[in-house]
């Protein structure tokens, strides 16, 4: 059984298709023979086309994926220079197919066009998750247990914080921060957030470890920070494709209440939040800043 869907919003201009965002993975449905179905989706970052195929698990291999890449290239046959995937379990399979075509493959959770398409598609065509019985989430990844960061990198103090959304970019735009990631797509203005909406964040005062911690975090490619209840509670960093790290812990009831506020504010801010590393609480110097969204 194989299904095909290919759409184009507008003719693609040269260079539009240089980077494709792709997904390849098993979905919670089977064909008539009982084989799990896999779905392949590819799109360019401008959203000018989407190419989708569904096939039984037994048919999905590097040769099949190569065929999908060639088919997605369309009549002009122009292949992308790079494929970007957010699903770690598909990385090896897709890389094996793309290498023979001379296409680079990179893992990254920053695939906004693809994720928007998947979210919309499965809102229109909902499925039930076989394991949980709940609604199927096409963006969900296998959750790995969070690991502690090295003791030499741990900060001295940490706290939840918030800034009015309208003040965030003016405050940080010209400040000399050695490591700074403020993606344009994550701009509070671009997301339409009210200027007085509290934008939540986590601030870590790391002393002499501030720069080593910041450099290590930069290498991990921070994606989102979650507050997690436990014994003790923790601030968990989601990074890379599927890595999870314990940034900080606390057994304090006030910190737990602040953690709930942090998560509530994230929901109000459409997932937007920040992570700030600095040497101390004097707020005179800052080492690293990330504006994160987590979707």
Percent of the residues in the chain that have a pLDDT greater than 90, as a whole number: 81
Give the 3-state secondary structure percentages of the chain, helix then strand then coil, rounded to 5: 30, 35, 40
What pLDDT score was predicted for residue 15?
39
What pLDDT score was predicted for residue 13?
36
Whether residue 129 lies inside any domain: the answer is: no
Q: Show the tokens assigned to 35.
A: 């084989």
Place of tokens 């094996």: 96
Q: Are residue 222 and residue 92 in the same domain, yes or no?
A: no
User: pLDDT by residue (tens digit) across 239-256?
Assistant: 999 899 999 999 999 999
Residue 8 above 60 pLDDT? no
> Which residue segment(s) compose the domain that 31 sits in?
3-124
Place of tokens 């008539």: 32
Q: Are residue 159 and residue 287 in the same domain, yes or no?
A: yes
Q: Are residue 78 and residue 157 in the same domain, yes or no?
A: no
Whether residue 142 lies inside any domain: the answer is: no
Per the model's pLDDT, the better-predicted residue between 4 and 273 turns out to be: 273
Q: How many CB atoms lie within 10 A of CB 30?
A: 15
Q: Are residue 119 and residue 151 in the same domain, yes or no?
A: no
Question: What is the DSSP pairing of strand 198-205 with strand 273-278?
Answer: parallel
Q: Are residue 196 and residue 241 in the same domain, yes or no?
A: yes
Tell me how many domains the chain contains. 2
Q: Are residue 151 and residue 229 in the same domain, yes or no?
A: yes
Q: Are residue 120 and residue 189 in the same domain, yes or no?
A: no
Per-residue pLDDT band for 142 (boundaries 50, 70, 90) equals: confident
Q: How many CB atoms lie within 10 A of CB 174?
A: 7
Over the chain, what is the mean pLDDT? 91
B/e letters for 111-143, b = 16+ CB within 10 Å, e = fewer, are bbbbbebbeebbeeeeeeeeeeeeebebeeeee
Per-residue pLDDT band for 65 (boundaries 50, 70, 90) equals: very high
Percent of the residues in the chain that have a pLDDT greater than 70, as a whole number: 94
C-alpha closest to that of 277 among 115, 114, 154? 154
Q: Are residue 111 and residue 151 in the same domain, yes or no?
A: no
Whether residue 130 lies inside any domain: the answer is: no
Whether residue 154 lies inside any domain: the answer is: yes
Whether residue 76 lies inside any domain: the answer is: yes
Question: CA distances (Å), 43 to each of 88, 106, 255, in order?
Answer: 18, 15, 42
Whether residue 287 lies inside any domain: the answer is: yes
User: pLDDT by residue (tens digit) across 11-60?
Assistant: 333 334 699 999 999 999 999 999 999 999 999 999 999 999 999 999 99
Whether residue 134 lies inside any domain: the answer is: no
Q: Are residue 277 and residue 225 in the same domain, yes or no?
A: yes
Q: Are residue 266 and residue 227 in the same domain, yes or no?
A: yes
What pLDDT score was predicted for residue 17?
65
Task: For residue 91, give the DSSP letter.
Answer: H
What is the CATH classification number for the domain harbouring 20? Answer: 3.30.420.10
User: pLDDT by residue (tens digit) across 151-181?
Assistant: 899 888 999 999 999 999 999 988 999 999 9
Q: Are residue 109 and residue 154 in the same domain, yes or no?
A: no
What pLDDT score was predicted for residue 260?
97
Per-residue pLDDT band for 116 (boundaries 50, 70, 90) equals: very high
């Amino acid at each position: 059984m194989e299904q095909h869907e290919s759409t184009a919003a507008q003719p693609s201009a040269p260079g539009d298709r240089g980077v494709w965002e792709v997904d390849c993975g098993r979905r919670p449905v089977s064909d008539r023979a009982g084989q799990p179905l896999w779905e392949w989706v590819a799109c360019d970052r401008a959203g000018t086309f989407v190419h989708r195929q569904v096939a039984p698990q037994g048919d999905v291999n590097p040769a099949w994926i190569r065929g999908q890449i060639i088919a997605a290239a369309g009549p002009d046959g122009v292949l992308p220079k790079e494929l970007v995937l957010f699903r770690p379990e598909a990385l090896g399979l897709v890389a094996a197919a793309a290498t023979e075509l001379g296409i680079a493959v990179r893992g990254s959770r920053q695939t906004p066009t693809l994720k928007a398409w998947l979210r919309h598609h499965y809102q229109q065509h909902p499925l039930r998750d076989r394991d949980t019985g709940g609604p199927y989430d096409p963006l969900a990844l296998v959750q790995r247990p969070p690991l502690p960061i090295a003791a030499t990198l741990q900060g001295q103090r940490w706290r939840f914080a918030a800034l009015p959304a309208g003040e965030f970019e003016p405050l940080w735009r010209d400040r000399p921060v050695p490591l700074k990631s403020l993606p344009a797509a994550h701009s509070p203005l671009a997301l339409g957030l009210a200027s007085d909406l509290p934008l939540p964040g986590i601030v870590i005062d790391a002393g002499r470890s501030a720069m080593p911690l910041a450099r290590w975090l930069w290498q991990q490619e921070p994606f989102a920070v979650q507050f997690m209840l436990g014994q003790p509670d923790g601030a968990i960093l989601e990074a890379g494709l599927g890595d999870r790290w314990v940034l900080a812990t606390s057994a304090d009831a006030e910190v737990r209440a602040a953690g709930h506020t942090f998560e509530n504010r994230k929901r109000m801010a459409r997932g937007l939040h920040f992570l700030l590393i600095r040497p101390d609480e004097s707020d005179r110097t800052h080492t690293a800043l990330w504006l994160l969204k987590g979707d």
